[in-house]
Amino acid sequence: MSQQGTALNVRSIAAPERRTIGLQLPERQVLLGAVDLFCINAALAIVAEWRGYPLGEGLTLQPVWYGVLTGVWLTVAYLLGSYDLRRAAQIRAGVATGAATGLITGIAYLFTPHIVPALPASPLMLATFLTAMVVPVTCWRAIYALALVGPTLRRRALVVGAGWAGQTIVETLRKHAPVEYDLVGFIDDDPDKWGKIIADLKVLGTRANLHGLVKQTGATEIIIAVAQPGRIHPDLLQAILHCHEQGIHITQMPVLFEQLTGRVPVEHAGRNMYVVLPVNGYPSHVQAAVKRLVDLVIGTSGLVLTAALLPLVWLALHIESPGPVFYRQMRVGRGGRLFDLIKFRTMVPNAEVSGARWAEVEDRRVTRVGRWMRRLHLDEIPQALNIVRGDLSFIGPRPERPEFVAQLEEHLPFYRVRQAVRPGVTGWAQIKYRYGASVEDALMKLEYDLYYNKHQSLWLDLVILIKTIGIVLTLKGR
């Protein structure tokens, strides 16, 4: 940002012209989704009425029609990232994503046999249904991008703390919610920072000025980003509570960071274990039983598929790189228990005679057959045996090698927390981040893994499953 732009920003902060309403991020996503679902279900109702299915019959006697359509829409929307607020705020990207989601949903719905109405009685009706699916959604997305990201609906936020945590949340907001937040400045008690520009924001005052600055800037939210959240100065605490009494929304930096990134800010946690522990405790026995049942179904199916692929994989490997078909590697499981991970071999035999090493982007140890198996994720299928044994779940943090665990525990706080749940074939870190090949990558993936541990649920597992299917279908494996 230029100095001129910064100066203008500070002047506008000092004398806000309007009081903002300030939609929160989850409220924006709910609003987007609610209107989307109304549009597509209204399209189905209109075309079903034309086809001879009265609206009352469709809603009361055949609610499954609308339930299936909603499920298909949400699945496609998650695969395409339709509720990424950064994308939705840009008119071209938002309209394009909405149109693609509507078109793919409509086509997929028409090809769902037996449980949906027989709609396409003619080409005209088919075209009408797809048009009715796409046009209202794209119009709504255009309205959202043009009108609902304006200044009146943005959150105006003061950030308490101009240190590492404060600068991190400011950078994160600019990256993930650039049109949803107006950042008006920092509050910090360090006299060396008063009046200075940090991360393109001015340090406007101290805790003693907090309430007055909230009024002066028209702030609707205070973001607490101090180094030790559990040791807030009593005067600052009273000032925050005073603002809270006046209807100002109070947000902690770790909570907002998790909402924006899907990661737990490990470096901000310090020794505060509550930052990384599950929000509502670990899943209930019922949820655990359901997850295990799903794992057994997937694992059994994977064993059948492994047996079917075994002759082809053996032949392909034997032609290019003779050696064993399967590859066993020691991994660390739940509670630190060691087990042998089983995969189809994708590297040359004896690829690690010199010891364990991080994978590389263009790893020369990987054979041509192995590279294709990785892209298609075929090498992962034999892990079905680990799933059936109980070493793995289908969804969970990826198990790491003991050599790397010992190294990572020295550098990364709370690394062992990820071992509190059964590891998985795929997980939150796998769908959100690239392949880990360094300690820095391991830190990033740890933050995603800790988010999964903290928020694990059957719903989050379903989201991961849907995203994983999209990665497999688009050949993004490595």
Q: How many CB atoms lie within 10 A of CB 280?
A: 10
| pLDDT over 90 percentage in the chain | 38
Query: What pLDDT score was predicted for residue 4?
Result: 36
Note the pLDDT tens digit of each residue in 300-352: 999 999 999 999 999 998 888 888 999 899 999 998 899 999 999 988 876 66
Query: What pLDDT score was predicted for residue 159?
Result: 95
Query: What pLDDT score was predicted for residue 440?
Result: 77
Query: What pLDDT score was predicted for residue 308?
Result: 95
Least confident of 147-161, 269-283, 321-335, 376-390: 269-283
**If you average pLDDT over each of 68-77, 382-391, 457-466, which comes out highest?**
382-391
State the average pLDDT over residues 285-292.
91
Sign of the dihedral through C-alpha 406, 410, 412, 414: positive
Query: What pLDDT score was predicted for residue 18?
Result: 45
Query: What pLDDT score was predicted for residue 278?
Result: 76
Q: How many CB atoms lie within 10 A of CB 390?
A: 15
pLDDT at 405 over 60: yes
The tally of CA atoms less than 13 A away on the side-chain side of residue 423 is: 25
333 close to 422: Cβ distance less than 8 angstroms: yes
Domain boundaries, the chain: 3-21+152-261, 25-147, 285-347+363-473
- Secondary structure in 3-state letters for 410-422: HHCCCHHHHHHCC
| Placement of tokens 């509720």 in the chain | 83
Cα angle at 249 between 243 and 254, to 5 degrees? Answer: 115
CATH number for domain 3-21+152-261, candidates 3.40.50.150, 2.60.40.10, 3.40.50.720, 2.70.70.10: 3.40.50.720
Least confident of 88-92, 99-103, 125-129: 125-129
What would you measure as the largest C-alpha separation in the chain, in angstroms?
Answer: 76
pLDDT at 234 over 60: yes
Q: Is the pTM value of this prediction over 0.85?
A: no
